[in-house]
Amino acid sequence: MADAVEHLFALCLGKTVRRAAPYIWLIPAFILVGLLAAGMMLMVVDSFHQLDQSTFLLSDAFSLANYQQLLAQPVFKVVLLRSILYSLIVTAITVPLSFPYAYVMVRTKSALLRRILLFCLFVPFFIGSVVRAYSWIIVLGRYGLANEMIEFVGLEPIKMLYTPFAVVVGLTQYMLPFSVLMIAPALTSIPEEIEMAAEGLGASWVQALARIVFPMAKPGIVAATIVVFTLSLTDYAMPAMMGGGTFDFVSNLVYDVFFGMSDWGLGSAFMILLVIVGTLMVILIMAAFDLPAILKRALK
* pLDDT tens per residue, range 137-151: 888 887 888 888 888
The pTM score is 0.83
Distance CA 154, CA 278 (A): 45
Greater confidence (228 vs 1) lies with 228
- Would you list the DSSP string of 99-143? HHHHHHHHH-S-HHHHHHHHHHHHGGGGS-HHHHHHHHHHHHSTT
| Tens-place pLDDT, residues 199-225 | 777 777 788 888 888 888 888 999 999
pLDDT higher than threshold 70 for residue 186 = yes
In this prediction, residue 297 carries a pLDDT of 60
| Tens-place pLDDT, residues 237-250 | 889 888 887 888 88
Average pLDDT over residues 119-134: 83
pLDDT higher than threshold 60 for residue 2 = no
Q: List Cα–Cα distances, 156 to 120, 151, 193, in angstroms.
A: 33, 6, 52
Instruction: Supply the mean pLDDT for the chain.
Output: 83
pLDDT higher than threshold 50 for residue 5 = no
**pLDDT band at residue 104 under the 50/70/90 scheme:** very high
CATH no., domain 74-131+158-299: 1.10.3720.10
Of 158, 162, 183, the C-alpha closest to 91 is 183
Q: Which of 27-36, 90-99, 240-249, 285-294 has the highest mean pLDDT?
A: 90-99
Of 233, 242, 259, 241, the C-alpha closest to 79 is 233
Burial of 127 (0-12, 13-18, 19+ CB in 10 A): exposed
In this prediction, residue 86 carries a pLDDT of 94
Least confident piece of the model among 59-63, 88-92, 237-241, 283-287: 59-63
